[in-house]
């Protein structure tokens, strides 16, 4: 295999080397056991064809991960600042309700991207105001401001407000029940398409009623209609990653 050069990590130590291997690689079996033996962090994802994306009525959307939520005091200071934690369970991560605008360190360094997610906050999307105007406002998706840590509104980023929730078909999905609060969480979907919706939703964006994640991470995933995904693609926005949602039988 030809491997890229490693990336130096802040604080020194061994450099980080990240690369993709197709499971159809002729030596995948041997490689896979080496990765296990080396305790390499092995993350599976499925790449979809344009046809698979274009023919789905709904798509699950993720985006470029850029920066951490603020304030970062005690690492998780953003939780108290951003969420009502009344129904939150520390063990499984379910139940945070947003009560205030998100805070970022400063304006995102967008480069050529125009849609992003904050690390740890995989149920929320952020876009430039221009993209909101051109793509999301016409689709009746609202937005709310994002602040810096001094409370001033940032000028190049807004948060998309996705309030509609819809249930998915959960039969057969690996799940765990929290031993503290008793609520159910589904394991992250890394292989294949996203599970089908139970009902036919109205609107162009929604979040799943179900939570996904492992450990103390829990997110309701965000889905968008094919029409909205198409207008996002047509507007040339970079940074989104789409996963087709299975059609219900």
Binding-site member from 139, 178, 233, 246 for Zn ion (CB under 5 A):
178
Nearer to Zn ion, 59 or 218 (CB): 218
**Nearest distance, CB of residue 177 and Zn ion, angstroms:** 9
Told to check if 169 binds Zn ion by CB under 5 A, we report no
Helical segments of 12-126, H only: 28-37, 50-54, 77-82
Specify which residues 144 forms β-bridges with. Answer: 159
Told to check if 180 binds Zn ion by CB under 5 A, we report yes
Nearer to Zn ion, 92 or 104 (CB): 92
Cβ-contact 222, 60 below 8 angstroms: yes
Q: How many CA atoms lie less than 13 Å away from 30 in the CB half-sphere?
A: 4
Q: How many Å apart are CA 123 and CA 144, to the nearest integer? A: 15
Total of chain residues touching Zn ion, rule CB under 5 A: 6
Over the window 1 to 30, marking each residue x when it contacts Zn ion by CB under 5 A and - when it does not, the resulting string is ------------------------------
Nearer to Zn ion, 180 or 191 (CB): 180
Told to check if 229 binds Zn ion by CB under 5 A, we report no
Helical segments of 4-148, H only: 28-37, 50-54, 77-82, 129-131
Helix (H) or strand (E) holding 226: helix 226-234
Binding-site member from 63, 92, 116, 162 for Zn ion (CB under 5 A):
92
Q: How many Å apart are CA 241 and CA 127, to the nearest integer? A: 14
Q: Taken in order 129, 131, 133, 136, is the CA torsion positive or negative?
A: negative
Q: Which stretch binds Zn ion (CB under 5 A): 9-17, 89-97, 110-118, 198-206?
A: 89-97
Told to check if 181 binds Zn ion by CB under 5 A, we report yes
The helix/strand count (H/E) of the chain reads as: 5, 13
**Nearest distance, CB of residue 120 and Zn ion, angstroms:** 17
Nearer to Zn ion, 57 or 183 (CB): 183
Q: How many Å apart are CA 240 and CA 168, to the nearest integer? A: 22
Q: How many Å apart are CA 225 and CA 242, to the nearest integer? A: 11
Nearer to Zn ion, 173 or 181 (CB): 181
Told to check if 91 binds Zn ion by CB under 5 A, we report yes
Nearer to Zn ion, 63 or 89 (CB): 89
Q: Which stretch binds Zn ion (CB under 5 A): 97-105, 128-136, 139-147, 173-181?
A: 173-181
**Nearest distance, CB of residue 7 and Zn ion, angstroms:** 35
- Which positions lie near Zn ion, rule CB under 5 A? 89, 91-92, 178, 180-181
């Amino acid at each position: 295999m030809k491997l890229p050069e490693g990336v130096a990590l802040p604080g020194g130590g061994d450099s980080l080397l990240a690369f993709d291997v197709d499971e159809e690689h002729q030596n995948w079996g041997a490689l896979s056991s080496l990765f296990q033996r080396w305790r390499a962090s092995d993350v599976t994802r499925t790449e979809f064809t344009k046809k698979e994306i274009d023919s789905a009525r709904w798509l699950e959307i993720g985006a470029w991960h850029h920066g951490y939520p603020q304030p970062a005091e005690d690492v998780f200071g953003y939780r108290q600042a951003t969420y009502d934690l009344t129904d939150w369970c520390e063990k499984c991560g379910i139940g945070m309700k947003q009560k205030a605008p998100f805070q970022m360190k400063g304006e995102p360094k967008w480069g050529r991207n125009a849609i992003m997610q904050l690390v740890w906050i995989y149920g929320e999307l952020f876009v430039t105001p221009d993209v909101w105007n051109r793509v999301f406002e016409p689709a009746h998706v609202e937005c709310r401001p994002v602040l810096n840590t001094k409370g001033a509104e940032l000028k190049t980023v807004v948060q998309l407000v996705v309030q509609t929730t819809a249930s998915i078909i959960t039969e057969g999905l690996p799940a765990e029940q929290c031993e503290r609060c008793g609520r159910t969480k589904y394991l992250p979907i890394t292989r294949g398409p996203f599970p089908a919706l139970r009902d036919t939703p109205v609107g162009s964006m929604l979040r799943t009623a179900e939570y996904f994640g492992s450990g103390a991470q829990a997110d309701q995933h965000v889905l968008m209609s094919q029409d909205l995904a198409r207008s996002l693609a047509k507007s040339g926005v970079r940074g989104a990653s789409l996963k087709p949602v299975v059609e219900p039988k």
